[in-house]
Structure 1
Amino acid sequence: MNMPDRSAVFLVGDALRAGRPRRWIDSVAHDRPYRGLRAPSSDELVHDHPAGRQRAAIVLAAVRFVAHMHPAEYFSHTTAAVLWDLPLPMLPDARPHVSVPGRAPRLRGIHGHQIDPALSRVVTHSRLGLRLADPATTWAMLGRMLPHPYDLVAVGDAIVRVPRIPGRVSRTEREALGTVHELEAALRAGRRGGAAVLRSALPRIRPGVASRMETWVRLILVDAGLPEPRTDHDVFDRDGSFVGCVDLAYVDLRIAVEYEGDQHRTDARQWQRDIEKHERLAELGWRVIRVSRDHVFRDSASIVRRVSRAIDDRR
């Protein structure tokens, strides 16, 4: 997402020392996000933002708080997760989570934390320019914050994923945010809240998972006793031409499990591509099982039944 202009945020004391009149400082053109700080009105920055209004508001709140930050402070927990664009079950309120090795910051409008330096690796975000916990530390900080263990796996999946161009294994879009080894190191760095849940999640993390829902579908199947499907599987026809990439696959049985998000329904071009891909898969003998959000959260047993029946039919 586009970065709000950090230079437009200012401390009231700095403005007064620079000779700015009080009426300008306190004008309606300026928001008051934190005590002693002013910033341009946020309406145009978060309204209808392509990244989502709530996510944009969280980034904006973090950018604005930088003017207040001490050198040892950094963004952490769910704020860092949003800044790394990691999947969360629901977005938190916009108040930034700010951590520091010493005494926890106590400022109205933020969540302050005192963190043992051994438990946190702090980096600067290459695009946003903000100091924050690195992705592996961020994952470990979520051990007590996510209500369902599947979501810890989903965050881990997102961290180790290497986005690639389907059908072209050697072409990647960027490096992974982290590795399983780094996640394990963050978990073992010291006494950490939610350690038991994190330990359970770690061996379940897989590369090649493109969304939180794909993680949930995979774990629903495995926890029901079914074999674990392969993630992010490219299918080619007999001539070696690329047919499509399927979310989850039982390759030997030619069974594909596809999660259909809202974009598959609302994007006409995506819908057309899906129809063509599924027709070509059927021509090659693949059985495609399509899954929606309602299946995942309201009727997960139906996913298990359909996949189990397909496996039995193909054996």
Structure 2
Amino acid sequence: MPRPPAPLPRSLGDAFRVGDGIQAGVSASRLRSRDLVAPFHGVRTRALPPSAPGADAVSVDDPSARDRAVRERTLRSAVAYATVMPASAFFTGRTAAILYGLPLDPGDGLDLGVVAPSRAPRGAGIRGVKIEGHLVRLRTVDGLPLSSPASTWAILGRELSVRELVIVGDAIVRIPRGRSGIPLPDARIGTLAQLAAATDAGPRRGVARLRAALPLIREGSSSPLESSFRLDAEAAGLPRPDLDVEIRDPRGKLLGISEIVYREHGVVVEVEGDHHRTSRAQWDRDLEKYAAYAAAGWEVVRITSTHLRQRRAVDLVRAALARHE
């Protein structure tokens, strides 16, 4: 049976530079052991145990579990690179978006930025970009330097479509609610005013897409599916809905909170991810809520990602609105 590798000094942490390891007395052969990974040149990280779940192994019963897994994987990679990152560099683009918890594919590798005239980082697994100083604001998250949420959104204008920019923008300005349902405006990632300021900061690649996306971004959209439906519905000429609405009965009792509501028509649109089907607890809550909505005179239109992909969602909602004209 193979002998387990010798313990590493605690001072090295989970990610460290090879030079720091050697200085701490770790041998070259130990640095090549199977319990260490070399994610970047000159860096070692402790390998995750085989039991650690990846993003693809997370249960769909928890709709946010996959996003958390992707963020943890990206954070681990960013922390590793930070050990050799130039002092002038910061995480930006898709990497910063993931670390802020925004709905975006992380892409391959890490996005790094520097303020001109510094040279953009290069290397395996690194996408570097040079940015004019007046076009970026920085902040620190989990001990890492990141472009601010608004700056990140504006920098992504060089590669995202208008629709993708709206979806990410919606997530930035969304005002979350606490467990009791009370809005928490101080907990949002950013504001519409900050996105507008980033758009107007000066010429940059993709600024035309930023200007096209900005007026379409709204507070109150809680998922990419809801943002996508709203864009499709408004493009098809449907009325502009209210978002993140408290639905109450005639006596004022709170029945539920719905993200897309056509008040004048008495129609509620529920855009449901797969967890509404696979989670028994969610399914039971949905049945109770929709029964209460119906008793209070609301028609509920339930749509899924399949309806959106097949372009049927707008037709379903249009028909419901017509029934209440």
> Taking structure 1 as the reference length, what is the TM-score of the superposition?
0.90
Equivalence map 1:136-151=2 (5 Å): 136-146=150-160, 148-151=161-164
Who is 1:177 aligned against?
A: 189
What is the CA-CA distance between 1:106 and the residue it aligns to?
1.6
Q: Distance in 2 between matches of 1:168 and 1:106?
A: 46
Who is 1:266 aligned against?
A: 278
Give 1:150's aligned amino acid: R
Q: Distance in 2 between matches of 1:173 and 1:204?
A: 20
Match of 2:128, SS state, is strand
What is the CA-CA distance between 1:313 and the residue it aligns to?
1.8
Give per-residue Cα distances to partners, 1:27-73, cap 9 Å, x unaligned: 11110111111110135595246643544322221111110112211
Who is 1:110 aligned against?
A: 126
Q: Gapped runs of 5+ residues in structure 2?
A: 1-10, 59-64
1:308 aligns with 2:323: no
Q: Distance in 1 between matches of 2:244 and 2:100?
A: 22
8 Å contact from structure 1 (residues 162, 175) kept in 2: yes
Range that drifts further, 214-223 or 188-197: 188-197
Who is 1:100 aligned against?
A: 114
1:28 aligns with 2:28: no
Range that drifts further, 34-43 or 267-276: 34-43
Instruction: Go from structure 1 to structure 2 and tell me whether the alpha carbon gap of 1:200 and 1:110 turns closer, same or farther (over 3 Å shift).
Output: same
Q: Distance in 1 between matches of 2:12 and 2:134?
A: 30
Q: Distance in 2 between matches of 1:46 and 1:206?
A: 37
1:222 aligns with 2:234: yes
8 Å contact from structure 1 (residues 46, 56) kept in 2: no
Root-mean-square deviation (CA, aligned residues, Å) is 2.0
Give 2:177's aligned amino acid: R
Give 1:63's aligned amino acid: V
Instruction: Go from structure 1 to structure 2 and tell me whether the alpha carbon gap of 1:278 and 1:182 turns closer, same or farther (over 3 Å shift).
Output: same
Match of 1:23, SS state, is helix
What is the CA-CA distance between 1:292 and the residue it aligns to?
0.5
Match of 2:170, SS state, is helix
Who is 1:79 aligned against?
A: 95
Instruction: Go from structure 1 to structure 2 and tell me whether the alpha carbon gap of 1:6 and 1:118 turns closer, same or farther (over 3 Å shift).
Output: farther
Q: 2:145 aligns with which of 131, 134, 142?
A: 131
Identical pairs, percent = 38
Q: Distance in 1 between matches of 2:119 and 2:106?
A: 27
Who is 2:297 aligned against?
A: 285
Q: Distance in 2 between matches of 1:238 and 1:217?
A: 29
Q: Distance in 1 between matches of 2:231 and 2:43?
A: 46
Q: Gapped runs of 5+ residues in structure 1?
A: none
Give 1:138's aligned amino acid: T
8 Å contact from structure 1 (residues 84, 135) kept in 2: yes
Instruction: Go from structure 1 to structure 2 and tell me whether the alpha carbon gap of 1:165 and 1:96 turns closer, same or farther (over 3 Å shift).
Output: same
Q: Distance in 2 between matches of 1:46 and 1:83?
A: 20
Instruction: Go from structure 1 to structure 2 and tell me whether the alpha carbon gap of 1:68 and 1:45 turns closer, same or farther (over 3 Å shift).
Output: farther
Give per-residue Cα distances to partners, 1:240-267, cap 9 Å, x unaligned: 1110111200112110111010111111
Q: Distance in 2 between matches of 1:136 and 1:111?
A: 20
> Taking structure 2 as the reference length, what is the TM-score of the superposition?
0.88
8 Å contact from structure 2 (residues 103, 168) kept in 1: yes
What is the CA-CA distance between 1:291 and the residue it aligns to?
0.7
Give per-residue Cα distances to partners, 1:118-158, cap 9 Å, x unaligned: 11111001xx2211111001111111322x42221111111
Q: 2:269 aligns with which of 257, 276, 279?
A: 257
